[in-house]
């Protein structure tokens, strides 16, 4: 993998190392589209306003999430539309965004011959963090990422989850006002995933955190607002509770025979199926009871999400 170069701050008099977040922080995306040279429309007419807190960008692989993240991080430019951070056009003035941005890309690369501590010092230098300030900051981040005992180990011997935690630490080096994390829990075990979600929740109290993921559990307990992408477009934006309310009274459970499951999946929006000795307990979204034996079930965010991606919830 190619190492992430990071953003170079422009040091000089009056340029603070760690800024206190402004009174109000806002990322405004207006009618943004991105079409690649081969004609692929990765993002189409996306409009979204994001302010303080943790916002979950949820969607399946290939929905356009990573492209939108790269646009926000000023790695690529939109084909159409505008992006503004606190009123500043970040396409015309990308440095204004890069100074205050923490970005963890989906594919994070490192120099395998460096230790974790050496790599973080290298990244801090690229970001323009003075050496005297870098050391205590790196000490804190190694503790935050649970890498204290591995600080002197070479990155070439790290597991995928440990590499991802190094990436998390790198994204926080400049104490960003806007933290953009693209599929950050990939490679993390359940305990690490839960710890990272808790960390993001804490960070979102004083900054904007934009978390991209295809895993509903990554955002259902942490995000104050969700933006759901599908086929390059924004399918919905709402609080998790509001999305769940959209399918309330349309979620059912019943038991079918093992040999009936395929037919039921073809006919209804099945969101969960649990096999047991007496058959398969099916959890599905439908406008009307799909069976005389079906009983109302408590809706989940997974129900609402899959229903949005799939379209109508009546029998197919």
Report d(CA 221, CA 127) in Å as an integer: 32
- Of 19-23, 27-31, 70-74, 167-171, the poorest mean pLDDT is in 19-23
CB 213 within 8 A of CB 219: yes
Per-residue model confidence (pLDDT) at position 22: 46
Pinpoint the alpha helices (H) of the chain.
65-72, 94-98, 116-126, 131-144, 160-171, 190-203, 240-245, 261-267, 301-310
Q: What's the alpha-carbon Rg for the chain, to the nearest Å?
A: 22
pLDDT over 90 at 265, yes or no:
yes
Number of H helices, E strands in the chain: 9, 14
Average pLDDT score over residue span 241-263: 94
The dihedral built from the CA positions of residue 89, 90, 93 and 95, taken in this order, carries a sign that is positive
Domain ranges of the chain: 26-238, 244-310
**Lowest pLDDT segment from 106-110, 151-155, 264-268:** 106-110
Residue from 128, 159, 124, 160 nearest 139 by CA: 124
pLDDT of 311 = 63
CB 66 within 8 A of CB 144: no
310 and 252 in contact (C-beta within 8 Å)?
A: no
Give every CB contact of residue 3 below 8 A, 6+ residues apart in sequence: 109, 110, 111
> Across residues 210-228, what is the average pLDDT?
92
Identify the H or E element spanning 83.
strand 80-85
Model pTM? 0.83
* Mean pLDDT score across all residues of the chain: 87
Q: What percent of the chain is predicted at pLDDT more than 90? A: 67
Q: Which CATH number fits domain 26-238: 3.30.2130.10, 3.40.50.300, 3.40.50.1370, 3.40.50.720?
A: 3.40.50.300
């Amino acid at each position: 993998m190619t190492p992430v170069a990071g953003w170079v701050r422009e040091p000089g008099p009056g340029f603070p190392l760690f800024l206190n977040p402004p009174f109000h922080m806002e990322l405004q995306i207006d009618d943004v589209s991105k079409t690649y040279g081969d004609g692929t429309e990765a993002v189409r007419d996306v409009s979204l306003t994001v302010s303080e807190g943790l916002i979950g960008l949820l969607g399946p692989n290939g929905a356009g999430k990573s492209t939108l993240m790269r646009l926000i991080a000023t790695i690529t430019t939109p084909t159409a539309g505008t992006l503004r951070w606190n009123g500043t056009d970040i396409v015309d003035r990308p440095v204004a965004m890069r100074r205050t941005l923490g970005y963890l890309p989906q594919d994070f690369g490192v120099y395998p011959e460096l230790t974790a501590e050496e790599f973080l010092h290298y990244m801090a230098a690229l970001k323009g963090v003075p050496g005297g300030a870098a050391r205590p900051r790196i000490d804190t981040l190694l503790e935050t990422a649970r890498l204290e005992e591995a600080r002197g180990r070479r990155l070439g011997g790290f597991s995928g989850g440990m590499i991802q935690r190094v990436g998390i630490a790198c994204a926080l080096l400049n104490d960003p006002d806007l933290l953009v994390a693209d599929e950050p829990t990939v490679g993390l075990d359940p305990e690490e995933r839960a710890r990272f979600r808790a960390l993001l929740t804490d960070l979102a109290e004083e900054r904007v955190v934009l978390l991209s993921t295809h895993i509903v559990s990554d955002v259902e307990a942490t995000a104050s607002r969700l933006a759901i992408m599908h086929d390059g477009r924004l399918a919905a934006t709402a609080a998790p509770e509001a999305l769940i309310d959209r399918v309330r009274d349309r979620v059912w459970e019943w038991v079918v025979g093992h040999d009936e499951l395929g037919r039921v999946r073809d006919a209804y929006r099945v969101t969960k199926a649990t096999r047991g000795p007496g058959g398969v307990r099916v959890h599905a979204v439908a406008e009307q009871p799909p069976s005389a034996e079906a009983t109302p079930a408590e809706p989940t965010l997974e129900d609402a999400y899959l229903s949005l991606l799939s379209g109508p919830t009546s029998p197919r």
